[in-house]
Structure 1
Amino acid sequence: MTTALLALPVLLPVLAGGVCLLTHHRLPLRVLSVTVLVAVLVDAAALLALADDRGPLVLHVGGWAAPAGIALVADRLSALLLSVAVLVALAVLLFAIGQGTAEERSHETAVFHPGYLLLVAGVSLAFLTGDLFNLFVAFEVMLASSYILLTLDAGRPRTRAGMTYTMTSLTSSLLFLTAIALVYAATGTVTLAQLGGRLAALPDGLRTALSLLLLVVFGIKAALVPLHFWLPDSYPTAPAPITAVFAALLTKVGMYALLRTQTLLFPRSETWVLLAVAAVAAMLVGVLGAVAQDDINRLLSFTLVGHMGYMLFGLALFDVAGLTGTILYMVHHIVVQAALFLAAGLILRQTGTSALHRMQERTPPTAVVAALFAVPALSVAGVPPLSGFVAKLALLQASAADGHPAAYLLAGAAVLTSLLTLYAMARLWRRVFFATRQARRRPHGPGRHGPGRRATVLMLGAATGMAVAGLGVAAAAGPLAGVGERAAEDLRHPEPYREAVLDGLAEGGR
C-alpha cells in the first residue's frame, strides 16, 4: 500500500497526460485532469500523515535497492510541500478551465491538459526523488512542460519571454549536470542518503566548491538575486493561471532542492554568512524592484523575487528554529502567491489592462475581487494575524535566538522588506480599486464582458479557495508549526532518512 502511495503522484499525471494526448477527441479532458489531481491530493495528504507518524517512507523502484536503483522518498518535508503544491495546482486548473485558457481551441485543449499534468508529475518527482540525477530529470520534465504552457497561442512577446526562460533554464541544467558528474566522480554515487557521509570525507575546498556550484544551480531555479533576471520578464507574459502556478510552484521546487542538498550533503553548525548576505540582497532588490513597477504582474513578480529571501533567511541560520521558519514560509508563500496572481488575473479581465496608471482610468473591479486581492496582499506584507505574519514571526524569533550579527542583519532586512511590501501593495490597491469620479463614469474595460456566468463562478471559486487556504494556513499555524519543526529536526538529523533509503546496508557500503 505504501509503495502505491509513493508511486501515484508521479505515475498518475504521466499516465493521464498520455491518455489526454491519445483520446482528446473522445474524452472530456477537464474532468480527467481534475479527477487525477484530486486523487493525487488525497494521496499526498495520506503520505504526509504516514510520514509524520512513521518517519520516511521509501519506494525502491523496480525492486532495486539504493544505491543501485531509484528511490522515491516521502518524509515530512517533501510530503508537506507536495500536498500544498497539488492543492494549488488543482485550484489553478479550475481557474484555467473557467477562464478558458485550457479550452479556447481544440488543438490547445489537447496540449494544455497533458502539459499541465506533466508539470505536476515533474513537481511531484522533484519532491520525492532520493537522488541527484532524478532531481535533474524532474527539472527537465518541468522545463519541457512549462515551455509548452508558456507559449500556448503565443505572440512575439510571449515567445521571446519563453525563449529567455528556456535558455536560462537550460544553462542551469547544464551546470546541474556538470555538478552531478563532479559529485559522482568524487564520491561514486548520486544517492542523497549516501552523499552526506562520502562528501564529508572530501577535502574542505572541494566540498565548498561543490556546495557553491549547487547553490548557483538551484539559485537560478529559485530566482535568487542576482540570478533572478529571467523571472520578471518571463512570468508576466503568460496567462494568469499559468503565471500563478509557475510563481507558486517552480521557484519553490528550486528552493526545496537547495534546502534538501545543503542540509543533507553540506551540513553546518553555525550561521552561513554568505547565504545571509544573499538573503538580504534578495529581499531588498526584489521589494525595491516591486515598488518601481507600473505593471501589476511585474510588481507581483518582483515581490516574489524579494520574498524568496525570507526562505534563504532560515536556511542561512542553519538551526532547527530557522529551518522551521523557512518551511512555514514556503507553505505560506506557495498558497498566497497563487492567490495573488489569480486575483490579478481577475483584475486584468475586469479592467482590460495590466498597467496600473491605466487602471486609474477604468471602473474599479468588483468588491469581491477587491477582497480576494486584499487577503493575500496583506498576508504577503506580513500583517497580523495572517499567514505571512506567522511565518515572518517564526524567522524573527529564530534570528533573535541565534544572536549572530548576520542574524540581526537578516531580521532588519526582513522588517524593512515587509514595510516596503506593504507600501507596494497599498500603492497598487489605490491605483486599482480607487478610481476618480470621472473614471467611474467611463465604460468598463474591454475585459469586463469575459466568460459566461458559470465560468466566472468557477474562476471566483478557485481564487476564493486559494484566499481561504491562505487564511487556513494562519488558522492552523500551531499544527503546521509542529510539522515544520519536526521536518526541520529531520533536516538537522538525517540519520532516519539515510537508514530508510539505504535499508540496512553495511556502514562501509555507505
Structure 2
Amino acid sequence: MTFLVGLPVLLPLLAAAVSLIAGRSPLVQRLLGVTVLTAIAGAAAVLLVQADSNGPVVLRLGDYGPPFGITLVADRLAALLLLVSAIVTLAVLIFSIGQRITDYGRKTASTAFHPMYLVLCSGVSLAYLTSDLFNLFVAFEIMLGASYVLITRRVTAQRVKPSVTYVIVSLTSSLLFITMIALVYTATGTVNLAALPEHIAQLPAGVQSSLALFIVIVFGIKAALVPLHFWLPDSYPTAPAPITAVFAALLTKVGIYALIRTQTLVFVHDDSWSVLLGLALVTMIVGALGAIAQNDLNRMLSFLLVSHIGYMIFGLALFNVIGMAGVILYVVHHITVQGALFLVSGLVTRHTGTVSLKTMSGVAKAYPLVAVLFAIPAMSLGGIPPFSGFVAKIALLQGGAEAGTPMAIAATVGVIVASLLTLYAVTKIWVGAFWGPRVEPSPDPDPNDDVTVGTGSTSPAMLGATGGLVLASVLIAVFAGPLADMSDRAAHDLLHDEGYRAAVLGEGNG
C-alpha cells in the first residue's frame, strides 16, 4: 500500500505535464483531469481504510529515512482530508468543464487551467502527507504558484487590485514561513515534525511560546484568521466561481491542517490556550458581522468563510479529544459545504447576471432546483439539525464545556452567537436572491465570449457537480456516527502522537 501514499502527489504533476502538451485538445485535458482526480479519490479511500485499521501508512522516498530523507505519511487525519479534498476538486473540475471556464467558451481553448489545477491538487496532497516543515513549505509554494495563475486568468480592470493583493499577501506569508523554518532549525537542528517535540521541549519556555505564536501567525495568514484575514474577502469574490470554490474549500483548510499538525505534534499544550481561544472568538464574530454588512453574494460568503475558520481554531485551542474531534468533523463539513455554496453562487450568477443582492430576485420561483441546492448547505452552515454543521457544532460545544475555563466558556458562547449571525446572513441571501418577484437578467456584454452570464443557461455538468457536493454534505450527516467515531480516533492520535512519531522515525510501514 505504500506506493499509494505518493500517488496523490506525483500523479497530478505528471498529468499536468501531459495536459500542457495536449493543450490543443481540450477533450484530452478534461478526460485526463477527471481520470486523475478520480484515481486520487480511490487511492485516498484505500489509504483511509488502511490507516484506520493498521495505523499510519509510510512512504520513504528513495528509501532514505530521517533526518535526510523525505517521508510521506498517511494517518487517519491526512487520509480523511485527502479523500474529502479529492471529491471536492473532482466536483469543481466537472463544474468548470460544464461552465466552460477552462476555455471561456472561445474557439481557442486555454492551455493553462487544467495543468495549473492539477498542480494545485498535487500541492494540497503534499501538504497533508508531508512529515517535515520544509516540505510543507514546498507544498504551500506549489499551491500558491498554481493559484497565482488561476486567480489572475482573464484579468479585467476590476480584478487587478484584488489579484495583486492576493499575490503580495501570499508572498509575504511565504517569506515569514521560510523565516520561521530557519528559526526552528537554528533552535533545534531539525525540521522533521516527528523529531521536533523532543528538541522543542529542551528550549526555554519563552522560546517555545514565541515559536508557537510565530507558527500561528504564519498559518493564520494562510487560513485567514482575524486580524490576518483582510486579503480574503477582497481576493476570492472576483475570481470565477470554480476558482473561488476550490480556494475557499481547500486553501484555507490546508492552513488549518498545518496549525492542527504543528500545535498538537510539535508543541505541548496540557490545557486550553487562551490566546488562540481569543483569536477564535474574534474571528467568529468579526467574520459573521462582516458578512451581514455585505450586499455582494460572493463577499458575504467570503466573510462567512472567515467566520467559520474561527470555529476550527476554537476546537483546536481547547486541546482536548472532544474539541479536536469536533475540529476534524467541522473541517470535513466545511470543505464540502463552502465549496457547494460558491458553486451555487456561480449558478445564481449565470441566471441573474449579477452578484448584488439588491438587483437579483426570484431565483426560487424561476429555478427551484438552484434554490434547493442553496438551501441545504446554507442550513448546514447555520447549524440547523439534522445537517452536518449541527453535528460538528455540537461536538465543538461539548469540547468547550469540558474545558470549562472562563475563556473557553466565552468562546463557546461565541460559537452560538456566530451561528445565529450566520443564520441571519444566509436568510438575507435567501430573501434577496431567491425570494420575491423574478428580475430579468442582464447578460454579460462581452461580445468575444460565447458563454455569458445572465443567460439563464446552466449545463447538466454544472448542476450535477453542485448537486454532488450538496449530497456529500448530506451524507456526512447521515453517516455522522461512523464519521464521529473515526474523528475521535484521529483526535486521540493527534493528542497522543506516539504512533505517528514511531511511524516516521522508526521502521513504520515502509
Please classify the TM superposition score into its range, dividing by the shorter chain length.
Answer: over 0.9
Aligned residues: 497
- 1:328 Cα shift? 0.5
Q: Secondary structure at the match of 2:308?
A: helix
- 1:306 Cα shift? 0.3
Contact 2:363–2:370, Cα closer than 8 Å, also in 1: no
Q: Which ranges of 4 or more aligned residues in structure 1 deviate by more than 3 Å?
A: 105-108, 360-365, 442-445
Q: Distance in 1 between matches of 2:71 and 2:290?
A: 41
Q: How does 1:19-34 map to 2 (within 5 A)?
A: 19-26=18-25, 28-34=28-34
Partner of 1:443: 440
Q: Secondary structure at the match of 2:436?
A: coil
Partner of 1:56: 56
Q: Does 1:493 align with 2:490?
A: no
Q: Distance in 2 between matches of 1:35 and 1:472?
A: 23
Contact 1:45–1:79, Cα closer than 8 Å, also in 2: yes
RMSD (Å) for aligned C-alpha atoms: 1.5
- 1:504 Cα shift? 5.1
The amino acid across from 1:425 in the alignment is V
Q: Distance in 1 between matches of 2:293 and 2:166?
A: 22
- 1:163 Cα shift? 1.2
Q: Distance in 2 between matches of 1:107 and 1:13?
A: 24
- 1:443 Cα shift? 3.2
Q: Distance in 2 between matches of 1:484 and 1:207?
A: 28
Contact 1:98–1:456, Cα closer than 8 Å, also in 2: yes
Partner of 2:480: 477
The amino acid across from 2:498 in the alignment is E
- 1:69 Cα shift? 0.5
Q: Residues 458 and 361 (structure 1 numbering): CA distance in 2 closer, same or farther, change over 3 Å?
A: closer
Contact 1:350–1:445, Cα closer than 8 Å, also in 2: no
Contact 1:183–1:190, Cα closer than 8 Å, also in 2: yes
Contact 2:58–2:504, Cα closer than 8 Å, also in 1: yes
Q: Does 1:148 align with 2:154?
A: no
The amino acid across from 1:375 in the alignment is I
Q: Secondary structure at the match of 1:110?
A: coil
Q: Secondary structure at the match of 1:28?
A: helix
User: Residue deviations 1:183-220, cap 9 Å, x none?
Assistant: 11111111100001110111111111111111000000
Partner of 1:41: 41
Q: Secondary structure at the match of 1:153?
A: coil
Q: Secondary structure at the match of 1:154?
A: coil
Q: Distance in 1 between matches of 2:147 and 2:227?
A: 22
Contact 2:353–2:455, Cα closer than 8 Å, also in 1: no
Q: How does 1:297-376 map to 2 (within 5 A)?
A: 297-360=298-361, 365-376=366-377
Contact 1:279–1:312, Cα closer than 8 Å, also in 2: yes
Partner of 2:385: 384
- 1:106 Cα shift? 6.5
- 1:423 Cα shift? 0.7
Q: Secondary structure at the match of 1:72?
A: strand
Partner of 2:183: 182
Q: Distance in 1 between matches of 2:497 and 2:276?
A: 21
Q: Distance in 2 between matches of 1:443 and 1:356?
A: 14
Partner of 2:87: 87
Q: Distance in 1 between matches of 2:145 and 2:506?
A: 34
Q: Secondary structure at the match of 1:266?
A: coil
Contact 1:10–1:125, Cα closer than 8 Å, also in 2: yes
In structure 1, the gaps of 5 or more residues are 506-510
Q: Distance in 1 between matches of 2:419 and 2:388?
A: 13
User: Residue deviations 1:289-331, cap 9 Å, x none?
Assistant: 0000000000000000000010011111101111001110000
Q: Secondary structure at the match of 2:213?
A: helix
Q: Distance in 2 between matches of 1:495 and 1:353?
A: 53
Q: Distance in 1 between matches of 2:109 and 2:305?
A: 29
Partner of 1:8: 7
Q: Distance in 1 between matches of 2:39 and 2:268?
A: 36
Partner of 2:284: 283
Q: Distance in 1 between matches of 2:22 and 2:318?
A: 51
The amino acid across from 2:485 in the alignment is G
Partner of 2:409: 408
Q: Secondary structure at the match of 1:109?
A: coil
Q: Distance in 2 between matches of 1:324 and 1:496?
A: 18
TM-score when scaled to structure 2?
Answer: 0.95
Q: Distance in 2 between matches of 1:253 and 1:86?
A: 13
Q: Residues 18 and 107 (structure 1 numbering): CA distance in 2 closer, same or farther, change over 3 Å?
A: farther
User: Residue deviations 1:89-128, cap 9 Å, x none?
Assistant: 0000000000010132476531100000000000000000
Q: Distance in 1 between matches of 2:361 and 2:464?
A: 26
**Higher mean C-alpha deviation, range 205-214 or range 297-306:** 205-214
- 1:246 Cα shift? 0.3
User: Residue deviations 1:398-426, cap 9 Å, x none?
Assistant: 11122111121111100011011101111
The amino acid across from 2:37 in the alignment is L
Q: Secondary structure at the match of 1:192?
A: coil
Contact 1:285–1:306, Cα closer than 8 Å, also in 2: yes
Q: Secondary structure at the match of 2:73?
A: strand
Q: Residues 343 and 363 (structure 1 numbering): CA distance in 2 closer, same or farther, change over 3 Å?
A: closer
Q: Distance in 1 between matches of 2:499 and 2:237?
A: 42
Q: Distance in 1 between matches of 2:63 and 2:507?
A: 15
- 1:68 Cα shift? 1.1
Contact 1:351–1:365, Cα closer than 8 Å, also in 2: no
TM-score when scaled to structure 1?
Answer: 0.95
Q: Residues 25 and 322 (structure 1 numbering): CA distance in 2 closer, same or farther, change over 3 Å?
A: same
- 1:160 Cα shift? 2.0
Contact 1:347–1:365, Cα closer than 8 Å, also in 2: no
Q: Distance in 2 between matches of 1:297 and 1:98?
A: 20
Q: Residues 445 and 435 (structure 1 numbering): CA distance in 2 closer, same or farther, change over 3 Å?
A: farther
User: Residue deviations 1:349-390, cap 9 Å, x none?
Assistant: 101000000114889651000000000000000000100000
Contact 2:362–2:433, Cα closer than 8 Å, also in 1: no
Percent identity over paired residues: 56
Q: Secondary structure at the match of 1:58?
A: strand
Q: Secondary structure at the match of 1:227?
A: coil
Q: Does 1:206 align with 2:177?
A: no
Q: Distance in 2 between matches of 1:483 and 1:365?
A: 42
Q: Does 1:125 align with 2:126?
A: yes
- 1:56 Cα shift? 1.1
- 1:459 Cα shift? 0.3
In structure 2, the gaps of 5 or more residues are 444-452
Q: Residues 101 and 207 (structure 1 numbering): CA distance in 2 closer, same or farther, change over 3 Å?
A: same
**Higher mean C-alpha deviation, range 284-293 or range 201-210:** 201-210
User: Residue deviations 1:446-476, cap 9 Å, x none?
Assistant: 234255xxx6111000000011100001111
